[in-house]
Chains A and B, each alone.
Chain A
Amino acid sequence: MLPTIEIGPLVIPSAGLVYILGIWLALTAAEKAAARLELNVAATYGVAVTTLATGFIAARLAFVALHWNAYQQNLLGIVWPLTSGYSLPAGLLFGIAGGFFYGRAKQLPAARTLDALAPSLITLLMTVSLADFLAGPGYGLRADLPWSIDLFGVRRHPVQLYELLGGFLALAGWWLARRSPQPFPGRLFLVSTTIYGSTRLVTDAFRANAWLSTDGYHLLQIISLLAVLLSLLLLAYLSPPSVAEQ
């Protein structure tokens, strides 16, 4: 849609701008959520920063390690350019681990910290969707609907916009759930996961270049369903029984 933004003589990749803005919003969300949940704001912000920084560095170093033959001939390439060359699995693994150990070192309560970080996580996922919409490879199935978008003469589902809508629903769910007393820590995180996972379960069906299994199943749908079911199981297990159940 809009891979670059031209400002005079400058041509700026839109995805890069979106990621910078999205990371700033995600970190701000962590601060605000921690304050509202009466957690240690600085420590919670530190978990978010540590997770992002550790994940970013690990993703880069893992890619470098996997392609060392190329990088050893050009060591400067390890630090520039940074627009590509990352290992997502390594980034996720080490990022989560980094945030976990930082939180432990600061003696943060794990479940309540997840509650505070849920809006950040959703914001980051929405950032990915927006960057994909503007400059990424994703596009929706053909559809002639009033809200379809025109991509090179073909009308399609604006699937990334559906994902953004799902993110807003999840944030709204977090906000509404927060307003009532929490029967157990971690409830807000599970509610957010349930809502966002459910929307991705639905919307991925409209993606034309979805991640598929060899049998044609949408793998992201399966992952989303499993995440939602796990969240619902935990919500059921941790929720107090009703008076009738007692």
Chain B
Amino acid sequence: MPKSRFTWILLFLGVLLLGSAWILESREPADSTAEAAGVAEAPAVGYLAPDFTLTTLNGQTFTLSEQRGRPVVVNFWATWCPPCRAEIPHFQDASVKYNGQVAIIGVDDGETIAKVAPFANEMGITYPLPVDENSIVSSRYHVNSLPSTFFIDSEGVIQKIHIGLINQAVLEDQIEQLLAN
């Protein structure tokens, strides 16, 4: 361990020179999105969100990749899940507030349309509710705990994963970040 002033000064100059050179060497190229663009689909931040197609409560088909061009918030939930039920009003409010800017969808995990439809009517849910009856999409997204929410940007890249109950402020904050990017 250096003890004299001169040694520390030498170290300072060395770090200044080498550190600056390393920072210049580490500089990212202009097309820094090339990393994310070339990455495979994976249920992780920075990766393309795995594509899926499901049927919604009103019989329409929802395909994730068709939403490219605007951010998407994918919330995995179920009617038997208390925190899922608690946060549904937040998603409903957000779907109204950000209508046309962000697509908010609630993927029901492991239940039937007959089970979900009455619940959706009772809760006044108007945003799309694709039903993942056999939990195939949930498995692809490695959803081990409900609720789980995936925030996907307009290029289809997952920017944030939130596991557990989400409150309105955090939901809106994350949506605002998606819109800002």
Interface residues of A (CB under 8 A from B): 3-4, 6, 11, 13, 63-64, 67, 70-71, 73-74, 77, 81, 83-85, 136-137, 139, 141, 151-154, 176-177, 180, 183, 191, 198, 201-202, 204-205, 208-210, 212, 215-218, 221-222, 225, 228-229, 232-233, 235-237, 239-242, 244-245
**Contact of B19 with A217 in the complex, beta carbons under 8 Å:** no
The 4 closest A-B pairs by CB, nearest first: A137-B45, A67-B169, A152-B42, A205-B26
Q: Specify which chain A residues have a CB less than 8 angstroms from the CB of B23 in the assembled complex.
A: 201, 217-218, 221-222, 225
Out of B5, B145, B167, B170, name the residue touching A11 (CB < 8 Å).
B145
Partner-binding segment picked from B71-79, B106-114, B158-166: B158-166
Q: Specify which chain A residues have a CB less than 8 angstroms from the CB of B47 in the assembled complex.
A: 152
Does B67 sit at the interface, judged by CB under 8 A? no
**Contact of B46 with A137 in the complex, beta carbons under 8 Å:** yes
Contact with A along B1-35 (1 / 0, CB 8 A): 11111101101100110011011011111101001
**Contact of A202 with B44 in the complex, beta carbons under 8 Å:** no
Q: Specify which chain A residues have a CB less than 8 angstroms from the CB of B122 in the assembled complex.
A: none
Does B172 sit at the interface, judged by CB under 8 A? yes
Interface positions of B from 130 to 178, Cβ below 8 Å from A: 142, 144-145, 160-170, 172-173
Q: How large is the interface on B (under 10, 10 to 19, 20 to 34, 35 or more residues)?
A: 35 or more
CB closest residue in chain B, given A241: B5
Cα(A188)–Cα(B57), bound, Å: 64
**Contact of B12 with A233 in the complex, beta carbons under 8 Å:** yes
Does B39 sit at the interface, judged by CB under 8 A? yes
**Contact of B11 with A232 in the complex, beta carbons under 8 Å:** yes
**Contact of B12 with A205 in the complex, beta carbons under 8 Å:** no
Beyond A73-B168, A81-B165, A137-B46, 13 additional contacts (C-beta under 8 Å) are A70-B167, A83-B165, A85-B173, A177-B1, A198-B15, A216-B29, A217-B27, A222-B23, A225-B15, A225-B23, A232-B8, A240-B4, A245-B5
